[in-house]
Amino acid sequence: MKTIPHWINGSPTQGSAPSTQPVFDPATGAEQAQVVLGGPADVDTTVRAASAAFESWSESSLSQRTQVMFAFRQLLVEHEEELGRIISAEHGKTIDDARSEITRGREVVEFACGLGDVLKGSFSDQVSRGVDVHDFRQPLGVVAGITPFNFPAMVPLWMHPIAIATGNTFILKPSERDPSAANFVADLYRKAGLPDGVFNVVHGGKDAVDAILTHPGIEAVSFVGSTPIAKYVHEQATSHGKRVQALGGAKNHAVVLPDADLEFAANHITAGAYGSAGERCMAVSVAVAVGEAADGLVEVLARKAREVKVGPGNVPGVEMGPLITKVAQERVENAVAAATEQGATVVVDGRGLKVEGHEDGFFTGPSLLDHVTAEMDAYRHELFGPVLAIVRVDTLDEAIAVINANPYGNGTALFTASGEAARRFQRNVKVGMIGVNVPVPVPMSYYSFGGWKDSLIGDSPIHGPEGIRFSTRPKVVTTRWPQRAQQVTAGFDFPTSN
Ligand code: NAD
């Protein structure tokens, strides 16, 4: 049985902890590897290596750092297929879907390649007689990222290219459920010429996370995962004096107005709901059907849900793979059962789906629930599976009220032909990322990604300009170069400009 090691100071290592945890193939249900579980000693070893690396990396020039990023970007292109297969084998998503997440993550590397431009400071000439002011930003030191299972390449890529390009050294604690992508990326960085200790991977679960949150040598923590853990991470890390960005869970609504092209909307909602088996923080989990859109929409959504091709992620033509674990499969199927008991109509029932030759895989088929209300568990909880709930309302304003009453505010979409409706929607909805006739509105890397309310704890979205701000701290310098003979009186009053 293969053991997946940490990656510390430029090479793989088993670390100090004797414990390991199984990594499954979700398509077969079989254990395929063991991952080492790090604890305080491994985190401490890594922080020491990363601190030593920071001494020289933070002194490297902008062009040295961007050259590494350009090389790393090229390696991500060349190894996309290989990395996609690694992700698919542990996560279960299709290889094409895995390649798409690599592409979206690579865009952050491309943003980091343009660091020279985005890191430019500002300069004010002659703020007082003979006095100028300029500012610039410097890296924080050793920073860490704690990431979820659902995007084992993309979500870490939201963090480390910007952290590293701005001169920090980085410790990644990826999900223990699909850990191999992190080590593969570490090796690509090595091949790109990144010095040892600048990018490190410590595997593990709560013990490793707690050691990161409390270690005095770590300056900042980026977290992406479920809301309860995001709240825990934010509280723990801030109370230990760290800068924190913590992105949480979601319940994303797609509103369909009667003037929308129903076939177009249903096509996109189906892909947004069932793509990656609904295991995306931007997955569409609720369709809000407005007025007379409802019956027609449900009919088309049901047809499309039944057409989704479910199977192992490495089989060409498959559109949706298994869930990540048996526990996830049971959770999702129980939620569909509970929805029926609570009065929802199960239009398409994905429970009990068996994929031939993969009977022990963690599969469940697409489910479509109609007449769902805000009180039902299927609406209140993030199911993180291929379940689409339909909520029926009479007006757009009612749809906006439903969305705004939901504790999450990650993404939302509106399907309409009306510019007026789209404008009203985007101005009034309390959600961070909004799509107009776009179901999964994930911002490009040069914007920042982040939701509102329980989808983002604290105040810092990730990547883009916010990523630069988060990874650096500013200095403002006030300068005077007086001529030797010049008479400048030094007053005892607080300095003002004149
Ligand atoms: P998770 O919260 O279970 O795990 C995330 C990370 O936290 C993992 O590295 C895990 O090892 C660690 N962790 C888990 N339990 C912990 C505990 N008790 N103490 C300390 N650390 C712990 O999330 P997941 O199941 O891996 O991922 C799915 C969740 O992530 C969903 O809620 C999804 O919406 C969310 N997500 C959000 C975004 C976003 O951008 N907002 C993006 C991707 C995923």
Instruction: Ligand 1, residue 281: give the atom nearest the CA.
Output: 34
Instruction: List the helix and strand counts (H, then E) for the chain.
Output: 16, 23
pLDDT at 70: 98
CA distances, 123 to each of 264, 471, 498 (Å): 50, 21, 18
CB atoms within 10 A of CB 438: 16
Tens of pLDDT, residues 31-60: 999 999 999 999 999 999 999 999 999 999
Pocket lining: 308 vs ligand 1, CB cutoff 6 Å:
no
Pocket lining: 111 vs ligand 1, CB cutoff 6 Å:
no
pLDDT at 488: 67
- Residue 200 Ramachandran class (φ > 0 left, ψ -120 to 50 alpha, else beta): beta
pLDDT at 498: 67
Instruction: Ligand 1, residue 248: give the atom nearest the CA.
Output: 41
Q: Kindly report the CA angle at 379 between 222 and 24, in degrees rounded to 5?
A: 55
Q: Which two tokens stand for residue 185?
A: 């990326």
Q: What is the DSSP letter of 275?
A: G
Quick check: helix, strand or coil at residue 109?
helix
**In sequence order, what E strands does 239-331 have?**
243-247, 252-256, 284-290
Average pLDDT, the chain: 97
- pLDDT of residue 360 exceeding 90: yes
Cα 493 to chain centroid, rounded: 50
Return d(Cα 204, Cα 71) in angstroms, integer. Answer: 29
Residue 22 φ/ψ, nearest 5 degrees: -70, 145
pLDDT at 487: 65
Pocket lining: 209 vs ligand 1, CB cutoff 6 Å:
yes
The class of domain 2-248+455-477 in CATH terms is: alpha beta
Instruction: Ligand 1, residue 151: give the atom nearest the CA.
Output: 43
Task: Note if 113 is an active site residue.
Answer: no
Instruction: Ligand 1, residue 213: give the atom nearest the CA.
Output: 20
Domains 2-248+455-477 and 252-436 share a fold: no
Catalytic pick among 87, 162, 281, 421: 281
- Range 252-436 has CATH code 3.40.309.10: yes
Among protein residues, the one with the nearest Cα to ligand 1's atom 18 is 206
Instruction: Ligand 1, residue 149: give the atom nearest the CA.
Output: 26
In a mutational test of the pocket of ligand 1, which residue from 149, 226, 251 has the highest number of ligand atoms less than 8 Å from its CB? 226
Pocket lining: 101 vs ligand 1, CB cutoff 6 Å:
no
What is the rounded average pLDDT of the residues 126-151?
Answer: 97
pLDDT at 17: 66
pLDDT at 18: 72
**In sequence order, what E strands does 214-311 have?**
220-224, 243-247, 252-256, 284-290
What is the CA(53)–ligand 1 centre distance, in A? 28
Task: Please give the share of the chain, as a percent, with pLDDT higher than 70.
Answer: 99
* CB-based contacts of 291-295 (< 8 A; 24+ apart in sequence): 291/257, 291/258, 291/393, 291/394, 291/395, 292/258, 293/256, 293/257, 293/258, 293/260, 293/262, 294/390, 294/392
The model's pTM: 0.97
Tens of pLDDT, residues 210-255: 999 999 999 999 999 999 999 999 999 999 999 999 999 999 999 9
Tens of pLDDT, residues 274-290: 999 999 999 999 999 99
Pocket lining: 250 vs ligand 1, CB cutoff 6 Å:
yes
In a mutational test of the pocket of ligand 1, which residue from 93, 101, 281 has the highest number of ligand atoms less than 8 Å from its CB? 281
What is the CA(281)–ligand 1 centre distance, in A? 10
Query: Domain residue spans in the chain?
Result: 2-248+455-477, 252-436
What is the rounded average pLDDT of the residues 367-373?
Answer: 98
Cα 329 to chain centroid, rounded: 22
Q: Which two tokens stand for residue 280?
A: 């995306």
Pocket lining: 396 vs ligand 1, CB cutoff 6 Å:
no
